[in-house]
């Protein structure tokens, strides 16, 4: 395993190598330990500034990034941008350069438009972490899902050959895309399941199979990941009614009976009880939904550490003007 993580940004699982994923998950496992201490804070990123730039309302992801930053001793600033106030003659580039002028070390961005973190990363010298962009990717979610499964099974190598079933509105899910890419990179076999209206063309090119019959698909699965159903999709004709959706694609105890005994159930949250997942399943022993939340924190601490805790391409994050020979002397003064 390379001992370095020479990456400025974390924009998507698509860009990551298997080695990098292993590195992130390994570091995250270390950060789980920090969360179990009485003093849940390490001084590692003292003096670093992290901006959480959220163009979409989000409580759990934003809170998770914020706590992660604070536990690393970084200063976290939350900027919530109401989508209504974006269009004031300011381009995304203007926004980026304005933020850059405040010399942050990292910007965590969530945006309703796919590709926005990629665009910001092009404009910005600081690190950019994608906290969810449109329908594209949500890499930290996929990493925490992989961490949750590998913790339960006793090692990252256990992901190899695993059968993952992702059920729901794959077309409108960045979580699904990142997980398809992530799990398949780690050697798992991913199947997506949902009504054909919710399975986008060419999804198999991301590295998965398609099955529209959940009852059949659930049988072989080691992990079942349920996606949140957005009720407004009904109006767009993606499904006829919540009732029929729940019947065909909701995970209830009836469908669960057909699954393996030790099946793992994941949900990115927040859950729609009684819709995509029945209450008895959500609360059952198979469910690792709360474990996912704890791992989310660890993954985000790991990302901050790996992106901000070292030199990138020979440029020190601590003091960009230091020359190599002067490093220690200057640091002493």
> Is residue 111 a contact point for other proteins (CB under 8 A)?
yes
Q: CA distances (Å), 51 to each of 78, 107, 183, 233, 265, in order? A: 6, 5, 29, 32, 32
Q: How far is the CB of 116 from other proteins (least distance, A)?
A: 5
Neighbours of 291 (CB within 10 A): 17
Among 193, 182, 186, 197, smallest CA distance to 224 is for 193
Out of 57, 60, 80, 91, the residue judged to bind other proteins by CB under 8 A: 91
For residues 1 and 101, which CB has a smaller minimum distance to other proteins in the complex? 1
For residues 25 and 275, which CB has a smaller minimum distance to other proteins in the complex? 25
Among 157, 206, 223, 175, smallest CA distance to 58 is for 175
Q: How far is the CB of 247 from other proteins (least distance, A)?
A: 27
- How many residues sit in the footprint of other proteins (CB under 8 A)? 66
Q: Which residues contact 85 (CB under 8 A, 6 or more apart)?
A: none
> Is residue 253 a contact point for other proteins (CB under 8 A)?
no
Q: Which residues contact 219 (CB under 8 A, 6 or more apart)?
A: 258, 259, 260
Distance CA 288, CA 267 (A): 8
Out of 17, 57, 60, 94, the residue judged to bind other proteins by CB under 8 A: 94
Out of 232, 241, 324, 333, the residue judged to bind other proteins by CB under 8 A: 324
Q: How far is the CB of 184 from other proteins (least distance, A)?
A: 13
Task: Look at the chain and count its residues.
Answer: 333
Q: How far is the CB of 44 from other proteins (least distance, A)?
A: 4
Out of 53, 68, 106, 135, the residue judged to bind other proteins by CB under 8 A: 135
Binding to other proteins (CB under 8 A): which residues in 160-219? 171, 174, 177, 200-203, 205-206
Neighbours of 36 (CB within 10 A): 8
Out of 26, 70, 100, 158, the residue judged to bind other proteins by CB under 8 A: 26
**Secondary structure letter of residue 191 according to DSSP:** E
Crossing angle for the helix pair 18-35 and 289-308, to the nearest 10 degrees: 110
Binding residues for other proteins (CB under 8 A): 1, 3-6, 14, 23, 26-27, 30-31, 33-34, 37-39, 41-44, 86-87, 89, 91-94, 111-116, 118-119, 133-137, 171, 174, 177, 200-203, 205-206, 236, 305-306, 309-311, 316-319, 322, 324-325, 327-328, 331-332
């Amino acid at each position: 395993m390379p001992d370095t993580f020479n990456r400025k940004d974390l924009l998507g699982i698509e860009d990551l190598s298997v080695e990098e994923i292993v590195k992130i998950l390994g570091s995250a496992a270390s950060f789980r330990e920090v969360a179990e201490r009485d003093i849940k804070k390490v001084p590692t990123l003292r003096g670093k500034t992290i901006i959480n730039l959220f163009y979409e309302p989000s409580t759990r992801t934003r809170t998770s990034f914020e706590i992660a930053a604070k536990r690393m001793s970084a200063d976290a600033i939350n900027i919530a941008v109401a989508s209504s106030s974006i269009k004031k003659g300011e381009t995304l580039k203007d926004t980026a350069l304005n933020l850059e002028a405040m010399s942050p070390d990292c910007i965590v961005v969530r945006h309703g438009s796919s590709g926005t973190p990629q665009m910001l990363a092009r404009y910005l010298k600081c690190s950019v972490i994608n906290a969810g962009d449109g329908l594209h990717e949500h890499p930290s979610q996929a990493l925490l899902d992989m961490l949750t499964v590998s913790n339960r099974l006793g090692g990252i190598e256990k992901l190899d050959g695993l059968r993952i079933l992702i059920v729901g509105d794959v077309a409108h899910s960045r979580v699904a895309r990142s997980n398809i890419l992530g799990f398949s990179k780690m050697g798992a076999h991913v199947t997506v399941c949902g009504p054909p209206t919710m399975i986008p063309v060419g999804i198999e090119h991301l590295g998965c199979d398609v099955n529209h019959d959940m009852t059949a698909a659930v049988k072989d699965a080691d992990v079942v990941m349920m996606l949140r159903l957005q009720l407004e999709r009904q109006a767009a004709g993606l499904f006829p009614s919540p009732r029929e959706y729940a019947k065909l694609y909701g995970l209830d105890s009836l469908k669960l009976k057909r699954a393996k005994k030790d099946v793992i159930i994941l949900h990115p949250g927040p859950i729609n009880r009684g819709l995509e997942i029945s209450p008895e399943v959500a609360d059952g022993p198979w469910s690792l939904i709360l474990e996912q939340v704890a791992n989310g924190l660890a993954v985000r601490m790991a990302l901050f550490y790996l992106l901000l805790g070292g030199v990138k391409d020979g440029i020190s994050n601590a003091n960009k003007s230091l020359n190599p020979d002067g490093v220690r002397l200057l640091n002493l003064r």
